[in-house]
Amino acid sequence: MSIYLKLFFFLVFISRSITTIAQDLVPEIKTITMGDDTVQLYIYVSPGANIAYAHIHENETASLEAGITSIKNYGGKLVTLVHSFDGSKNRNVTFMYNTTQYQFDPNRIYTDNDSVLYNNIKVVKGTNLVDTEVFKIVKNLANQIWNEVASAPTIVALHNNKNTPAEYTNFLFWKKVEPESYSIVSYIMRSDHASDSNHSCSDIYINASINNSEFFIVTEKRDFDLLASKRSSVVLQNATPVDDGSMSVFAAFKNKRYLNAEAKHGRVAEQTQMLKLINE
């Protein structure tokens, strides 16, 4: 092959790669006003699987990376909530309205029970209360996120957890005891005390060789059976879960096929592998 022919193929290869990356990575951006502030939904679409990935905790970057890789490899839609514009990444959304600062966890806003939503909005600074206007602002965001993902027959939520042990020694060698952080163990009833998680769980499969940070929560038995047969740890949410405003419970009430992929912060490779199980 002549040097010119080689160069030609090389240039074709480069331009194709650039086009592919550009096509895959350019999101549609929707800006949503929340009082004096705005948040954004970045919506990535790639042809292929009819799955919508919901990434709503901005600081859980490993799951976003795994989700982007997944839609590049298998296709799908990915919606990610962006609300920090100073370079930081935060779990909770904060906004100002009428001289008061409010905050909420964007995975505690999907509910038809208004009192659950009211209770999940906190006043951080200022003297005003959570009134109907504040409620409407948050409800609008919930509707917009839900409508984006609910248009697909399958929703896959992407999350990362810390999964620190309940007792650990910090850098000053003080023993620190924290409320036990979230893992698949949260779904097991212990000492006869059922947690909200346990109340919402009807079946569980644990692969003892996998870290307890990496698991799925699913709303349908067929997904439970499928993932368990692939030896992935999985929790089947029951038909009457506790309404905490989380998307998994809302999806169950709306009879949506929903799978939540949980992995520890930073475990991109493990979570990418988990998403592969859904697509293959």
Sign of CA dihedral 108, 110, 115, 118: positive
Nearer to Zn ion by Cβ, of 57 and 72: the residue is: 57
Nearer to Zn ion by Cβ, of 58 and 223: the residue is: 58
Least separation in angstroms between residue 111's CB and Zn ion is 17
Report the half-sphere exposure of 117 (CA within 13 A, side-chain side): 22
Taking the C-alpha atoms of residue 73 and residue 48, their distance in angstroms, rounded to an integer, is 9
**Alpha carbon distances (Å) from 85 to 55, 88, 137, 161, 218:** 17, 7, 19, 23, 33
Nearer to Zn ion by Cβ, of 80 and 232: the residue is: 80
Six-digit token string for 52 = 């919508």
Nearer to Zn ion by Cβ, of 57 and 77: the residue is: 57
* H-helix segments, 48-88: 61-74
Q: Nearest Cα to 76, choosing from 104, 53, 60?
A: 53
| Contact set with Zn ion (CB under 5 A) | 57, 60, 159
Least separation in angstroms between residue 63's CB and Zn ion is 7
Least separation in angstroms between residue 65's CB and Zn ion is 14
Least separation in angstroms between residue 16's CB and Zn ion is 36
Nearer to Zn ion by Cβ, of 57 and 83: the residue is: 57
Cβ(67)–Cβ(78) under 8 Å? yes
Least separation in angstroms between residue 158's CB and Zn ion is 8
